[in-house]
């Protein structure tokens, strides 16, 4: 197992919610990463962020680990959920709320509702 794979497994197993992204949750470096981090931040989700731009092995490693070609990638309780488009769809449909509730992840339901109202 590669060092990147070990790092990824450690990160997703030791945090309830992890976002592998370009940049950080405070300073995203691409629009797609910014969108997902923005949703999570707005909903008050406590999540770990991993800046794949800081480590090329990690950047490729996460794509291999999930068998998903793009960044960002969201993991909840060790399971890959999806990238920007999937997270956007799940937020607007309420599926993300359900996923968080089923996994005991705290989030602000009112904020989630406001996102849906603004995009309805």
pLDDT value of residue 55: 93
Domain that holds residue 48: 3-118
pLDDT value of residue 108: 98
With b for 16 or more beta-carbon neighbours within 10 A and e for fewer, the 102-117 pattern comes to eeebebeeeebeebee
Q: What is the DSSP string of 53-118?
A: GG-HHHHHHHHHHHT--SS-EEEETTEEEE-HHHHHHHHHHTHHHHHHHHTT----HHHHHHHHHH
With 90 as the cut, is the pLDDT of residue 2 above it? no
In tens, the pLDDT along 6-56 reads 999 999 999 999 999 999 999 999 999 999 999 999 999 999 999 999 999
| Domains: count for the chain | 1
In tens, the pLDDT along 56-100 reads 999 999 999 999 999 999 999 999 999 999 999 999 999 999 999
Mean pLDDT over all residues of the chain?
96
69: domain CATH number?
3.40.30.10
The span from the CA of 120 to the CA of 74, in Å, is: 23
In tens, the pLDDT along 102-111 reads 999 999 999 9
pLDDT value of residue 101: 98
């Amino acid at each position: 197992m590669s060092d990147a794979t070990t790092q990824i497994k450690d990160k997703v197993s030791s945090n309830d919610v992890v976002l592998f992204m370009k940049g950080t949750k405070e300073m995203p470096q691409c629009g797609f990463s910014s969108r997902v981090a923005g949703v999570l931040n707005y909903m008050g989700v406590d999540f770990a962020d991993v800046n794949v731009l800081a480590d090329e092995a990690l950047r490729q490693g996460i794509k291999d680990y999930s068998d998903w070609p793009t960044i960002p990638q969201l993991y909840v309780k060790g399971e890959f959920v999806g990238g920007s488009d999937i997270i956007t769809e799940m937020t607007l449909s309420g599926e993300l709320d359900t996923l968080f509730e089923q996994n005991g992840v705290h989030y602000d339901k009112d904020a989630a509702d406001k996102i849906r109202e603004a995009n309805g």
